[in-house]
Chain A
Amino acid sequence: MQAVSRAELQKMSDEDLMEKFQSGYEQAFNLLVDRYQDRLHNFLYRYTHNHQDCEDLVQETFFRVFRSRDSYERIAKFSTWMYTIAINLAKSLYKKKKRMTKVTIHKDPDDSEDRPMKLEDTDILPDDSLHEKMCIDELEKALMKLSEDFREVVVLRDIQQLSYEEIAEIADLPMGTVKSRINRGRAQLQELLENYYQPETISA
């Protein structure tokens, strides 16, 4: 096996790195993790809205990439293959969570030790930053209100900036359906945002 330096590996495409990894260079895998872990976390966060779940899913995705490296074929882009694994894991988690029973812990009035916790507020921001944060918060909330079918494709297109071809492959949908869902998802998101700012216009 011909030795390859880290600098040379860093210049390689994802697909070349996968080939190197398949031929035994674990360093190539580490570079793929470096390239994608933040992007994958951000993508999965739009999907789950829970950082702990995201971290678990990112780890599990890379574990599956590691374990299934021999099943990767160069006909597919590495990112498409990896996002497909991540989406399937996220969907499984979502289904599992839906099956779980919700438990609410109520404050016990007879227990003097059971009181609301005082937490230091570290989120005090200057006005502009606060306004920006509020807008982003509304956007995040609206995105989470979209149905899963729409959210998946708009996140892949507008947040992850994947091509329509890649999205069709990841979501396993015809191209026409992908485009239609993206447009409808964007329009629904805008409706939700308009309703936040003009609550009196919400119709039943």
Chain B
Amino acid sequence: MKSTAFDSDTVLTEFLTDYLDGNLSTAERESFEEYLSKNKDERNFMRKALKGKKALTRLAKHINNKPSVTA
């Protein structure tokens, strides 16, 4: 995987985490999206992390809807 600014910048990692969790204010979100629009590698990384998170959410739903595995 290509290295990005998220690998070395903890503030950006915090932004990305809050962005994926939907915890940024409108102003913060707009600033972060502006940053992403100008940085292709970071934008691609964010897109993959977001899709990966969605896939894991689907897996979690599947697991939670399944009948008990130990019963």
Contact = CB atoms under 8 A, between A and B. Distances in A.
B7 A189 contact: no
B10 A186 contact: no
Given A58-B70, A143-B59, 20 more contacts: A41-B70, A42-B63, A139-B59, A140-B59, A142-B55, A143-B56, A158-B56, A158-B59, A159-B63, A180-B13, A185-B52, A186-B51, A186-B56, A187-B49, A187-B52, A190-B49, A190-B52, A190-B55, A191-B48, A193-B55
B69 A41 contact: yes
Contacts of B68: 38
B10 A176 contact: yes
A37 interface: yes
Interface in A42-61: 42, 45, 51, 55, 58
Interface residues of B, number: 28
Contacts of A186: 20, 48-53, 56
A179 B69 contact: no
A183 B59 contact: no
Interface string A140-165: 10110000000000100011010010
A142 B51 CA distance: 13
B56 to A, nearest CB: 4
Interface in B18-71: 20, 45, 48-53, 55-60, 62-63, 68-71
